[in-house]
């Protein structure tokens, strides 16, 4: 079955949010929104749940902290116990700075890696052509036309009512 994709381009992100809200209310599937900057308030309209990225940061930080203390204890007190200036082998307070830095390091790297993996971003990844304006000044709302209940003319009318500056229709062929 093939479906049509209708894309409306907006200058003002508030118009796009209004249009997207109407689509959700009327049951028109919103495929995606592509925009040059984050649109606040859009997540609720599209039903995007808050990101759980903070858990990745937390786990990364915990691993870093554990690794930091383990590394210092194991090397200083077990693998090569070396008396430095009569200080105790397990000098906990002296181990705090390095453990802290490793906490931040691994938490930060894990967070950035999670963003790239989760959003499927990698170097040299190809970008489909046609939406170049959305990294400049236009916000695109992509809707799917899956049945005859909402026809081309209805999309035209939707774009006009919400102040879209440009619109286009393409047929997506699916297997």
Near other proteins in 131-150, by CB under 8 A? 131-137
Contact 131, 32 (CB under 8 A): no
Using the minimum distance from each CB to other proteins, give the nearer residue, 44 or 146. 44
Name the minimum Å distance from CB 66 to other proteins.
15
Minimum CB separation from other proteins for residue 148, in Å?
17
Pick the closest to residue 15 from 45, 54, 59 (CA basis). Answer: 45
Question: For residues 75 and 149, which CB has a smaller minimum distance to other proteins in the complex?
Answer: 75
Q: Taking CB under 8 A as the criterion, which residues in 8-27 touch other proteins?
A: 11-13
**C-alpha to C-alpha distance for 117 and 40, rounded to whole angstroms:** 23
Write out the two tokens for 39. Answer: 């649109």
Q: Whose structure tokens read 């903070």?
A: 54
How many residues sit in the footprint of other proteins (CB under 8 A)?
Answer: 82
Binding to other proteins, residues 38-97 (CB under 8 A) = 38-39, 42-43, 46, 48, 50-51, 53-54, 57, 61, 71-72, 75-76, 79-80, 82, 84-85, 87, 91, 94-95, 97
Spell out the residues 6+ positions from residue 64 whose beta carbon is closer than 8 angstroms to its own: 99, 102, 103, 104, 105, 106, 107
The residue with tokens 């409306």 is: 8
Which of residues 62, 98, 146, 151 is near other proteins by CB under 8 A?
98
């Amino acid at each position: 079955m093939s479906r049509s994709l209708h894309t409306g381009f907006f200058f003002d992100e508030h118009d796009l949010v209004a249009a997207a809200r109407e689509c959700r209310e009327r049951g028109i599937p919103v495929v995606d929104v592509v925009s040059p900057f984050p649109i606040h308030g859009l997540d609720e309209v599209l039903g995007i749940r808050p990101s759980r990225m903070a858990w990745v940061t937390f786990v990364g930080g915990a691993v870093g902290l554990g690794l930091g203390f383990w590394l210092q204890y194991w090397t200083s007190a077990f693998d090569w116990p070396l008396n430095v200036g009569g200080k105790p082998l397990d000098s906990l307070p002296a181990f705090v700075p390095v453990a802290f830095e490793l906490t931040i390091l691994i938490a930060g790297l894990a967070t950035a890696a999670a963003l790239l993996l989760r959003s499927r971003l990698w170097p040299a990844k190809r970008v489909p052509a046609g939406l170049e304006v959305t990294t400049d000044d236009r916000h695109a709302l992509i809707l799917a036309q899956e049945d005859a209940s909402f026809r081309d003319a209805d999309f035209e009318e939707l774009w006009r009512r919400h102040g879209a500056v440009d619109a286009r229709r393409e047929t997506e062929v699916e297997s």
